[in-house]
Structure 1
């Protein structure tokens, strides 16, 4: 006699102690989700499907069956693309010219972030209706901890999640996928297993076998450089990591070794943090034509510094570090960082910290993108104290405060600092 496998109908939300044969006996839907650990898994990752492109299709039904790419001009990158475009090999973050080579008939739409943010806020509110433990990762995805909601809502976590996805679809006209597990690492992986409109789970009983033959790149934080380093050591799959003790991985790969050891064994002790602190604030722009001249690059850098400074002030934060980002014409990314003596939220200090980094990097190569970010964020109360090493800080702060007041009344273009003039 086989053991019963609990199941859920994702349409009528009926729970079954054992999985029905093919369709839901209550509503005849084929969308049944069955898993042996259905009653106990309570940590989820929700990710809206092709969110920006889905909003565009929702608001223009004529686009329903067409390949849609949301992004900039030919020199920009793909911000999002629908699943029709993905059939042609288009992917997020792909250079736009490559995307259009693969899918020349695609409809390209400039991003409308105000519309996307409005929809994203409502998705967040619907999540928070079922649990206060929501940790946003981006405008359209988050981790949710639903432990204890049986008492709060009188239902299993999987059922509450299925209802949430239906509510998002009915109210906002976009779909979402759910990954359900017992920790964040596996929930994030699960949400990608059955997209779009997916609902997948990875339980404790299957985690080790599931992970064994997966590439090490599935571990968050393992980028191309780390993969190359691991590969040189003969480690390309998760199972290879299990040959090593934690102390050995830490000795060879630093702090990342601890994560490699734990995640390879399906262990992730990170909690869902509803108020997780912002790690960095940045801004970047892609040029219409490649730029090599340092002075020209600096003229493009200044408005980005003003943007980052405005975002820092709005968030009540200051950055203790500054990072310059450049992307070459062949899409190689360069980053250069500078630690500040004191945290700042002033555009002028961001600019002055980045200027020598940029002049050193501007060695004749042509760049297609420039960006700047503030990191190691702290409370704004610690920003820009008087300094003997930089006696002009107080004056710069007063100038920026005056400019901010004018812009608040008359608009962002009402007043421009000298280096912000376009020639």
Structure 2
């Protein structure tokens, strides 16, 4: 049985409980260990891990990264998770479950910098890296053995060790025959995990699992499946394509195939991002246009900055609002010309907001760019909007001042918070 020591990254005898080279018990054994190439990488409680890295006094304490009492949990360390705290949970619920938690506001610039470090380390392993989020990616290491002089499993173990050394956070790895199985496998041994699932055992492992385990099966689809008598993946996997189509429509055959662990998606580094957004939750519900426009402007500035950093522009804007009773409203508008200038984004979003201001109290507002376009196509100006280049020039001048003197160096009155 092929065996790998995760601490010294060497092959080890299958019959030994510890590594003969370093004495570690962190051994991985699997028949397909040295032949599988698709890996799902997931940083462990990423935001919270970065905060603990920078504040060692918090290592033994539960940490929640999130907004104020009316915000949501962005990340929770594993100590906090043992009490039931989860990402996207309202803060008031999280603090009720874990009253001793240290709550830290998110500091995205710091997390992005760490994510870029990890991305660079990934891209040194293989050109086939597909980011899925700031702290998650899938890699295909086929054909890299000659480059690294080791099979992918050993290369990945070295990578995990290097991330800990250089970035100061831990990762979990799922190694499998395809993207779906790699993602599911990465969840089996967190945190600081290295789990392997081979093609031969995939169907048997999946069969007893609940249907909710499958990515894309949210609460609504889960209820629909359970109402039809499908509670376990093995029941879905037994359906042929025709029966799956009859029962669940055009998505049925794909659903049954994924329940069997089948996934033909390649790892695609060029996969386009579908949208970019920014949102904020208020400390107190807001109901008037005047009160909602100031945070909307600040979000448009943030969105413009994110678009610029990624070399993209908005071909359309999406306004998101969440009411005090957690009902969500969305409106969207296609722009005549792509833009990444906050002033243009705000003008479009402001018009959408005016249609929703009806006395309802809102607890959250968000703005998104969708669909996306290359930044080179943005804000060129035409006969219908000759001022676009001037707006772009003004914004670039403001951003240059902020880069030199700090974010507070220059601001428009519409975005200032009331004292």
Q: TM-score, normalised by structure 2?
A: 0.89
CA distance 1:355–1:76, shift in 2 (3 Å): same
- Contact 1:312–1:345 at 8 Å: present in 2 too? yes
> What is the rounded CA distance, in whole Å, between the counterparts of 2:233 and 2:207 in structure 1?
5
- 1:171 lines up with 2:163 in the alignment: no
Of stretches 296-305 and 157-166 in structure 1, the one that deviates more from structure 2 is 296-305
Unaligned residue ranges in structure 1 (runs of 5+): none
CA distance 1:362–1:329, shift in 2 (3 Å): same
| Residue 215 (structure 1) aligns with | 210
> What is the rounded CA distance, in whole Å, between the counterparts of 2:250 and 2:301 in structure 1?
35
Deviation, structure 1 residue 237:
2.5
Aligned partner (choices 11, 33, 47) of residue 28 of structure 2 = 33
| Residue 401 (structure 2) aligns with | 410
Of stretches 26-35 and 367-376 in structure 1, the one that deviates more from structure 2 is 26-35
CA distance 1:125–1:383, shift in 2 (3 Å): closer
- 1:11 lines up with 2:3 in the alignment: no
> What is the rounded CA distance, in whole Å, between the counterparts of 1:313 and 1:173 in structure 2?
28
Of stretches 34-43 and 131-140 in structure 1, the one that deviates more from structure 2 is 131-140
CA distance 1:244–1:357, shift in 2 (3 Å): farther
Unaligned residue ranges in structure 2 (runs of 5+): none
Aligned partner (choices 280, 288, 294) of residue 283 of structure 2 = 288
Deviation, structure 1 residue 161:
0.9
- Give every structure 1 segment of 4 or more consecutive aligned residues whose post-TM-superposition deviation is greater than 6 Å: 385-388
| Residue 294 (structure 2) aligns with | 299
* 1:110-156 deviation per Cα after TM superposition (whole angstroms, max 9, x unaligned): 22223222222222222222222222222322111111122221211
Of stretches 190-199 and 344-353 in structure 1, the one that deviates more from structure 2 is 344-353
Aligned partner of residue 400 in structure 2, secondary structure? helix
> What is the rounded CA distance, in whole Å, between the counterparts of 1:179 and 1:358 in structure 2?
43
Aligned partner of residue 117 in structure 1, secondary structure? helix
- 1:366 lines up with 2:339 in the alignment: no
- Contact 1:406–1:414 at 8 Å: present in 2 too? no
| Residue 88 (structure 1) aligns with | 83
Aligned partner (choices 35, 59, 62) of residue 64 of structure 1 = 59
* 1:372-402 deviation per Cα after TM superposition (whole angstroms, max 9, x unaligned): 10112122344457678xx3x322x134223
Aligned partner of residue 192 in structure 1, secondary structure? helix
CA distance 1:167–1:382, shift in 2 (3 Å): closer
* 1:141-175 deviation per Cα after TM superposition (whole angstroms, max 9, x unaligned): 21111111222212111111111111222233221
Of stretches 121-130 and 340-349 in structure 1, the one that deviates more from structure 2 is 340-349
Question: What are the residue-to-residue correspondences of 1:367-386 with 2, within 5 Å?
Answer: 367-383=362-378
Q: TM-score, normalised by structure 1?
A: 0.89
| Residue 392 (structure 2) aligns with | 401
Aligned partner of residue 15 in structure 1, secondary structure? coil
CA distance 1:108–1:358, shift in 2 (3 Å): same
- Contact 2:63–2:80 at 8 Å: present in 1 too? yes
| Residue 192 (structure 1) aligns with | 187
Question: What are the residue-to-residue correspondences of 1:39-50 with 2, within 5 Å?
Answer: 39-50=34-45
